[in-house]
């Protein structure tokens, strides 16, 4: 059905499973099974949506992250596999105690939920400027039984000013696409995923700069800021760190490209 797309056979199977509501085992174990007309119609509708260029995750309404099946919609960025490196980094630095973690720009809640599942003693706060994103993240947290997550509407750190709150970790997958890069993005991304979650401004560094400048006020002494960045942004991002920061390190993805930054506040 989707033979013209890379991975079309696999995507066809995914859409068939979504339309029929069957497990892969049941579907393959009963090849003679007739699909009810309503389910058949749903399958062809999903195929048409995919052929029109809608991302598979939006067609199915699901995306896997950290082995968790999460709801997604055009209100949120589709989680990428490389973002799991942020979760891995927090886990590597965590003392596994009653730590406080802020997920800034939570989207569908993927980072916060993964950390809540792995660090049951931690207190998570998931912040986003979008109410639609926060509603979706709450649903995902409930479906994954991820407790100890507080959901807060905030434009970057606006909701925390004057609160006196401090965190052991601030983690973020921020917008980092430059305006001049926008038209070069794949059509699936440019035409369907939320522009606000991707486009940072003229240079692509605007949000990251504000994140770094603001984070020190809301991190405990010795707390960590961990965030994703574009592969060409490594050197200018490092220039944001000066006094008040130590142990500024670059993390590399599996392709050998700089992908995230870890930095620690001075004691």
pLDDT in tens, 180-228: 999 999 999 999 999 999 999 999 999 999 999 999 999 999 999 999 9
* Per-residue pLDDT reduced to its tens digit, 54-113: 999 999 999 999 999 999 999 999 999 999 999 999 999 999 889 999 999 999 999 999
Helix or strand holding residue 200 (H, E): strand 199-201
Within 10 angstroms of residue 31's Cβ, the number of other Cβ atoms is 6
pLDDT of residue 205: 97
145 has pLDDT over 60: yes
Where does the chain have alpha helices with state H? Answer: 8-20, 24-29, 37-51, 56-60, 84-93, 110-118, 131-143, 187-190, 206-218, 234-238
Q: What is the longest distance spanned by two Cα atoms in the chain?
A: 68
- More confident position, 37 or 88: 88
What is the DSSP-derived secondary structure letter of residue 173?
-
Q: Which long-range contacts link 133-136 to residues 24+ away (Cβ below 8 Å)?
A: 133/75, 133/76, 133/106, 133/107, 133/108, 134/106, 136/71, 136/72, 136/73, 136/75, 136/76, 136/108, 136/109
42 band by pLDDT with thresholds 50, 70 and 90: confident
CA–CA distance, 252 with 254 (Å, rounded to integer): 7
Q: Where in the chain is the domain with CATH 3.40.50.150?
A: 75-265
Average pLDDT across the chain, whole number: 91
> Would residue 180 be called left, alpha or beta, if left means φ above 0 and alpha means ψ between -120 and 50 degrees?
alpha
- Provide the sign of the torsion angle of the four alpha carbons 192, 195, 197, 200, taken in this order: positive
- More confident position, 188 or 5: 188
Within 10 angstroms of residue 126's Cβ, the number of other Cβ atoms is 31
- More confident position, 1 or 177: 177
Was domain 75-265 assigned CATH 3.40.30.10? no
CA distances from 133 to 73, 85, 137, 205 (A): 9, 22, 6, 23
236 has pLDDT over 70: yes
1 has pLDDT over 60: no
pLDDT of residue 99: 97
154 band by pLDDT with thresholds 50, 70 and 90: very high
- More confident position, 204 or 22: 204
DSSP-assigned beta bridge partners for residue 225:
170, 263
Please compute the mean of the pLDDT values over residues 30-54 and round it to a whole number.
80
What is the DSSP-derived secondary structure letter of residue 94?
-
CA–CA distance, 173 with 165 (Å, rounded to integer): 21
3 has pLDDT over 70: no
pTM of the complete model? 0.93
């Amino acid at each position: 059905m989707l033979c013209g797309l890379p991975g079309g056979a696999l995507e066809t199977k995914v859409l068939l499973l979504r339309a029929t509501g069957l497990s892969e085992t049941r579907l393959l174990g009963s090849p003679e099974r007739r699909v009810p007309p309503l389910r058949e119609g749903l399958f062809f509708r999903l195929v048409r949506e995919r052929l029109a260029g809608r991302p598979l995750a939006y067609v199915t309404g699901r995306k896997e992250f950290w082995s968790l099946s999460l709801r997604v919609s055009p209100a949120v960025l589709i989680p990428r596999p490389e973002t799991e490196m942020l979760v891995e980094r927090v886990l590597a630095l965590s003392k596994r105690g009653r730590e406080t973690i802020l997920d800034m720009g939570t989207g569908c809640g993927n980072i916060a939920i993964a950390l809540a599942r792995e660090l049951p003693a931690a207190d998570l706060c998931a912040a986003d400027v979008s109410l639609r994103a926060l509603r979706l993240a709450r649903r995902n947290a409930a479906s994954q039984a991820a407790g100890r997550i507080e959901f807060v509407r905030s434009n970057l750190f606006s909701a925390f000013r004057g609160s006196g709150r401090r965190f052991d970790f601030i983690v973020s997958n921020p917008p980092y696409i430059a305006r001049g890069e926008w038209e070069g993005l794949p059509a699936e991304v440019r035409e369907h995923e939320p522009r606000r979650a991707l486009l940072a401004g003229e240079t692509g560094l605007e949000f990251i700069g504000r994140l770094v400048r603001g984070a020190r006020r809301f991190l405990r002494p010795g707390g960590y800021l961990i965030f994703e960045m574009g592969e060409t942004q490594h050197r200018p991002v490092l220039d944001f760190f000066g006094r008040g920061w130590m142990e500024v390190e670059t993390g590399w993805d599996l392709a050998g490209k700089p992908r995230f930054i870890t930095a620690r506040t001075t004691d």
